Structure 1
Amino acid sequence: MSSAPATATSHHASHLEERLLLEVGQASSAGAKAMNEDAIGIRIPDDALLTTKGAAAVIADGVSAAEAGREASQSCVTGFLSDYFSTPESWTVRHSVQQVLTSLNRWLYRNGTHLPDSNKGFITTMSALVLKSQHAHLFHAGDSRIYLYRQGKLEQLTTDHAVPVGHGQTYLSRALGLDVRLEVDYQCLALEEGDLFLLSTDGVHDALDLEQLQAGISDETRSLEQRCLQLNSSALAAGSQDNLSCQLLRVLALPQPEIDDVVGRLTELRFPPFLKVGDTLDGLKVERELYASNRSQVYLVSEAISGQMYCMKTPSVNFEDDPAYIERFVMESWIGSRIHSPYVVRVVEPPQPRSCLYYLTEYVDGLSLTRWMREHPRPAVEEVVYLAGQIAKGLRAMHRRETLHQDLKPDNILIDSQGQVKLIDFGSCAVAGINEIASPLQRDQVLGTATYAAPECRLGSSVDARADLFSLAVICYEMFTGTLPFQGKLEQCSSQREFLSTTYTPSYRINPLVPQWIDGALRRAMRFHPERRHGDVSEFAYELQHPNASYLAFHQRPLIERDPLRTWKAIAIALALLELVTLALLLD
């Protein structure tokens, strides 16, 4: 079973398209059995998809004792190779495969429970290999195997999930379709040129020992496909009574882009000239300048023929010779075009081919949240909760694509004439799937705005979706109170000690209309340690709308339990005053 190559889906990230060159071969036969219940498949896509998703090989062995082992293995292979390459390009390999395997396992398990004999079902082993950029990602459940032949030595990388029960018999402790819950082994290892991977089912590796396998795959007089056929024949001759399947994938060349090549691709489009009202670029007329900084400019433009309005973002000529800046600007449109949500501004293709470097987004006729807060210094609690819920939905759409905004602030949140929120600006976004791709550039790490950034962003610690949650909570606090939390001292902090020394003032002390349980949600979302915050922005948004009894109980506890530091400070001050009074009385 094999798969046709995929076609490229986008040109926005073409500067990343350095080729991973592979040679592959595979073979499968029924062997001594009447029916072949094994399934194999390899897919090497073309162009951009090879860069963002890599190449994949999967081997599956349908369990003979199950009633539908053959259907299970075939469904596993076809489903894996189809669904993996359909997952978002922004996802990591591990996240993509885990989602695919979870879905496949549930489908197999559900179909197996409908069979007349409940002790049988759609059950199959599975070993999958994804080669992306300069790394190999291995996924494994069952007793099929993955080996690596490197520098003259063959090594088994996977561990069989087979439990011996005596008399040479074993049973599988893990397999797809065996249980509603699936546990899969995962490994990631760095690739070297010349690496040769072997995937096999037990019909092959149970009949041939490690030395025989190594001798078979290292025969340079044969092609990889011929070696696979020979391994199967050798296993059959050695007395194998099972189906025979194996695959070989050799790394001919790794993507090691030269800095000059990457810079050349990034600078294929020249920087646009400085634009003024009335200028036309690629059929787009500049109506007015919306924003300008030392890093970029944003213009309101209209298409000459249709009159359709767009926002055009152009790079600053200050960075014309800065490849890291150009890469980040190019990636902005790539990121935006992959986030599909009514709460995130939409990146659109220009009506004419681009003659220079810029990108377009939909035009949002509205105002920024910064201006909205100026015009609504004491908004109703319900209004703030409503806006926060929309912002959370926009962030959730990004997080589902393993994309962090990293610069959430009132200036990057628009509210249209219908009260709909739109998140804008992808300039600081981090994309997990792109971070897996090797680049010769020292990538530009643009930090978010210090006033709203989570402590881990400022301290250079690992960052996840809870950093965006922190920023959202800061914004909500500001909407509720008209002031920043922690007396606005967050942007002055540069160490863990300084962050922990800040004092949180409950929002209801500034705005008595804020319920204590809402303040409890705000306080939790702004904890210094990410693990003490909510699990995601959806949980935070839910707590803004539904009272959490634990927050109410918190305020009913004694002050020494709620704020021990403040309590002991008060006690120390009281003791000091008492001592002064006592001393004064003694002196009198």
Structure 2
Amino acid sequence: MPKDAPVPEQLSVSIGQYSAAGLKPSNQDFHGAMVPDGQALALKGVTLALADGISSSEVSHLAARTSVRSLLDDYYCTSDAWSVRTAATRVIAATNAWLYAENARIPGLDHDRGQVCTLAVLILKGAEAHVLHVGDSRVWRLSGESLEPLTADHRLTHSSTESYLDRAIGLRAEVEVDYTRLPLARGDIYLLTTDGVHDHMEARFVARTLREVPDLTLAARLIAKEALARGSTDNLTIQIARIDALPTGTLFETSLPVPQGLRAGNTLDGYTLLRQIHANHRSTIFLATDPAGARVALKIPAAEIREESTYMRQFLMEEWIARRITSAHVLRAATPPARRSALYVVTEFVEGVTLRQWMTDHPHPSLDQVRDIVGQAIRGLRTFHRSDMLHQDLRPENIMIDRAGTVKIIDLGAARVAGVQEAAPVPGDAPILGTLQYAAPEYFSGDPVGWRADLFSLGVIAYEMLTHRLPYGTQVSKVRTRRDVARLGYRSARDDDNGVPDWLDEALRRACHPDASRRFDALSEFDAALRSPGAAYGRRHPVPLAQRHPLRFWQGLSALLALLCLILLTTVTTP
């Protein structure tokens, strides 16, 4: 790093917390915060959570404690690839299910007397705040002299003086969690409060206290005591978070040197290079053996592209992703070295051919061969999507078929990982990472991109395997607006040479439809549609009885003819 370069900062947050029983004999609130370090801070963030047990239950404090502790523990055990929303809501849902089951174990128990609580969560990650909320505890942001509520109470009014919680943890078998995300700025101040505080606090007092009292723990105590003085009779819990610094560094270590002049026979961190298997202007790939003798692929970046941040992110993401996906149909990471002295990635070596080469070797594949390859690719893609990832660069060159016929998706660096994108977003003006001929129109039109973009790419690949052309030619890459998307015209895959049936052509048309909302609702639907006509196709294209049940058709026709003959014979013989 140059001497005059700014030192990268991490997310830095100051936290103050206070909780007391107030005028009640016991405190049924529970709160906690977690400030990790290193990669956990970058990829998971800082978490604050508080829960308020319902006053009608003598055991609701147990629900509050369980909800907060499970969130602070289990959230950090979820996949780094998951978005905050995915990870946190799954943890909350699991806690809710457990508490509901505990309540259900007591026959005839009224849930108003069970383990039930509210929950408010603030997760600060990268340059964003993520708010999750169930019940009537609240999250606020201080704006000048006013408090901006970031949550809405889940309460229903029963009468002019009575209301009740419509949503709470442990109340029902399933819980609906409100979620909001918003940008962070240095100096922002957020508050989490239970109703014993916010029902009696005054915004100007809060703003003045936070302006005059730098110690946030003391500020929290003063705000809670002011609520008590203003007539609060409930438990009092408040958490305060102030954003002191936002992250400016990168997620991945790039200070290691790029190996230079390597050739077959050289060693690097215990890997022995056997031969070069691929090279371009961005990287060189060697077949190598690890210290245990297993064959691996070792990829080294070109020195001149080290300063290209987008490519270096792609390069380092490949091994990172490979270590977080477990599938027979996705490239696996190799065992890492004990100490890495240089910049490179190491993965399993797949002995086989790319799908592009396979298509050259099999210019007229059978429908079963195409179905098998696409079906295996679907199983690999499904692993990506379940991990909150999009591959984004699916093309024949990035699909390998090994000697056993196993399909593997490779080249993972262009993948969009929800958790990483939150921690270090790719700039909006960054170039499209995928290959233009296979990229979905939404990448070019600016519409939201989801998992159906990968479905589009796979549909184009299946189409090309059967026709040796692309369904829209080169027109997709020229899309700039939604009007351009609407103008895209699908060219039927069916012709006199390839024998593609109408129903299969319709499946391909739907998989790579320009409008993402009109594609299949699941990858498994596309897989099924490649194997047989669906019910919808049958309704639109009814098959004549003679084709559906030829034996029954001819039996019925013979019976009808016999009946006609009998009628004619009777008519002729009657005097």
Q: What is the TM-score with the length of structure 2 in the denominator?
A: 0.85
Query: Any conservation in 2 of the 1:284–1:302 contact (CA below 8 Å)?
Result: yes
1:155-554 equivalences in 2 (<5 Å): 155-166=148-159, 168-220=161-213, 223-257=215-249, 267-303=254-290, 305-438=291-424, 445-479=431-465, 481-486=466-471, 488-490=473-475, 493-494=478-479, 497=484, 500-507=487-494, 510-512=497-499, 514-545=500-531, 547-554=533-540
Question: Which residue in the other structure is 2:566 paired with?
Answer: none
Distance across 1 between alignment mates of 2:262 and 2:162: 76
Question: Which residue in the other structure is 1:43 paired with?
Answer: 34
Per-residue deviation, 1:394: 0.9
Query: Any conservation in 2 of the 1:447–1:457 contact (CA below 8 Å)?
Result: no
Query: Any conservation in 1 of the 2:145–2:203 contact (CA below 8 Å)?
Result: no
Question: Which residue in the other structure is 1:583 paired with?
Answer: none
Query: Any conservation in 2 of the 1:328–1:444 contact (CA below 8 Å)?
Result: no
Distance across 2 between alignment mates of 1:167 and 1:544: 60
Aligned-pair identity in percent equals 39
Question: Which residue in the other structure is 1:107 paired with?
Answer: 98
Query: Any conservation in 2 of the 1:477–1:485 contact (CA below 8 Å)?
Result: yes
Tell me the SS of whatever aligns to 1:347.
Answer: coil
- Which has the larger displacement, 57-66 or 351-360? 351-360
Distance across 1 between alignment mates of 2:335 and 2:323: 9
Tell me the SS of whatever aligns to 2:200.
Answer: coil
Question: Which residue in the other structure is 1:585 paired with?
Answer: none
Change (3 A) 1:126 1:338: same
Question: Which residue in the other structure is 1:135 paired with?
Answer: 128
Distance across 1 between alignment mates of 2:162 and 2:428: 55
Match for 1:30: what amino acid? A
Query: Any conservation in 2 of the 1:508–1:515 contact (CA below 8 Å)?
Result: no
Query: Any conservation in 2 of the 1:500–1:528 contact (CA below 8 Å)?
Result: no
Distance across 1 between alignment mates of 2:155 and 2:100: 19
**Root-mean-square deviation (CA), in Å?**
3.0
Q: What is the TM-score with the length of structure 1 in the denominator?
A: 0.83
Distance across 2 between alignment mates of 1:286 and 1:456: 42
Extract unaligned runs of 5+ from structure 1.
Answer: 1-14, 558-588
Structure 2 residue 49 is matched with structure 1 residue 58: yes
Per-residue deviation, 1:232: 3.4
Structure 2 residue 10 is matched with structure 1 residue 19: yes
Query: Any conservation in 2 of the 1:485–1:505 contact (CA below 8 Å)?
Result: no
Change (3 A) 1:373 1:501: same
Query: Any conservation in 1 of the 2:315–2:413 contact (CA below 8 Å)?
Result: yes
Query: Any conservation in 1 of the 2:277–2:286 contact (CA below 8 Å)?
Result: yes
Query: Any conservation in 2 of the 1:324–1:443 contact (CA below 8 Å)?
Result: no
Extract unaligned runs of 5+ from structure 2.
Answer: 1-5, 544-575
Query: Any conservation in 1 of the 2:471–2:493 contact (CA below 8 Å)?
Result: no
Per-residue deviation, 1:499: 7.4
Distance across 2 between alignment mates of 1:539 and 1:18: 46
Per-residue deviation, 1:82: 1.8
Question: Which residue in the other structure is 1:561 paired with?
Answer: none
Change (3 A) 1:443 1:266: farther
- Which has the larger displacement, 44-53 or 103-112? 103-112
- Which has the larger displacement, 37-46 or 330-339? 330-339
Cα deviation digits, residues 434-464 of structure 1 (max 9, x gap): 2223579898534322332222234454322
